[in-house]
Homo-oligomer: A and B are copies of this chain.
Amino acid sequence: MESRLEKRVSNTGLRLTAQRRIIARAICLIEDHPSVDEIHRKALETNPNISIATVYRTLRLFEELGLLDKHEFNQSRARYEEATENHHDHLIDIETGKTIEFHDKEIEALQKEIANENGLRLIGHRMELYVRPLGS
């Protein structure tokens, strides 16, 4: 079945090659913001010849087209997710790396206010909450 992301790729008029299709599908199949090599490994299950170079290229392309969001939760290892029209931030379990998405209008209003108080215009932000399960 065609994944959401595949559909969006074809809507851009971009060549929907076998590799791009497989990579798009792989991202949808993996839970929770996969890393580049998780995506590569999943893609290899369908086509064992897909190159890591193609994965990097394709992810960058999808990101530039606004189809994917790239996160750098820790300095060395990007993670991707399908872009959604409504922005959100992340809670990140510092043991497992699992994430939970959230959105808080009140915080965002305060952020804008802080920028304005400093004579600046807020263009974007990054907010990550590092957490642990309550009983640990």
Residues of A within 8 A of B (CB): 72, 75, 78, 91, 93-94, 100, 102, 104, 106-107, 110-111, 114-116, 118-134, 136
Contacts and interface: CB of A to CB of B under 8 A. Distances in A.
A121 B131 contact: yes
A104 B125 CA distance: 15
Contacts of A91: 114-115, 118, 120
What's the number of copies of this chain in the assembled complex? 2
A104 B115 contact: no
A33 B94 CA distance: 25
A126 B126 CA distance: 7
Contacts of A111: 107, 127, 129
A64 to B, nearest CB: 16
